Amino acid sequence: MSTEALEVIRKEVAENPIIIYMKGTPDFPQCGFSARAIEALKACGVGFAAVNVFEDEEVYRQGVKLFSNWPTIPQLYVKGELVGGSDIIMDLYQSGELQEMLQNAAQAA
Amino acid sequence: MYSAEQIQDLIEAALPDAQVRVEGDDGQHFAALVVSPQFEGKSRIEQHRMVYAALGDRMGGEIHALSLRTATPD
């Protein structure tokens, strides 16, 4: 794990108002937790960036865990801040907060 | 390999006032419900972090997946 990896992630999170780090892609998630998270995001009807952590294991696999001191993937960041993993994403989606949060972030961008 | 009981013990040791229920019998995938007064006033992120901290490096390693729900008693 290099500091460059953390710098790559810091930049991506700063430049994308809505970004999710996941296993697989939005069309082909490779883990049940990532699949559930991405379904909730898609259902909100806003654009978002998605990074497949398998694309560059060197950078992402440990990098995203260290970056926010959060031990699991997926991770959703909105306006530069960690929102949470799949359980929190699902909770927020079911309460309607996720839709609101993402629409606000998309409008501000 | 971990059992649901072992994970429950680890969480209870770190959050002694919590009510903890852990399910899962394949050794890798678990679901936990943790209810603690210590979660009062904390964001979901902070609540989950407190539980993850109890599990340390095991999380994302030996414990592949933990579906986590946290709540305050009410």
pLDDT digits (tens, 9 = 90+) for A77-106: 999 999 999 999 999 999 999 999 999 999
- In this prediction, residue B32 carries a pLDDT of 96
A6 touches chain B (CB under 8 A): no
Q: Report which DSSP code applies to A16.
A: -
The CATH number of whichever domain residue A40 belongs to comes to: 3.40.30.10
A77, two tokens:
């960041």
Quote the crossing angle between the two packed helices A32-43 and A97-108, to the nearest 10°: 70
Decide if A72 is inside a domain: yes
Q: How far is A46 from chain B (nearest CA, A)?
A: 23
Map residue A20 onto helix, strand or coil: strand
**Could you say which of B44, B60, B66 has the minimum Cβ distance to residue A88?**
B44
Is the model's pTM score more than 0.90? no
In a domain, A108, yes or no: no
Quote ipTM for the complex.
Answer: 0.78
How many structural domains is chain A composed of?
Answer: 1
Residue that the structure tokens 């069309």 belong to: A27
Range of the domain at A77: 3-102
Domain B4-71 in this protein, CATH class: alpha beta
Q: Which one of B60, B65, B68 has the shortest CB-CB distance to A65?
A: B60
Judge whether B34 and B54 are in contact, CB under 8 Å: no
On whether residue A107 sits in a domain, the answer given is no
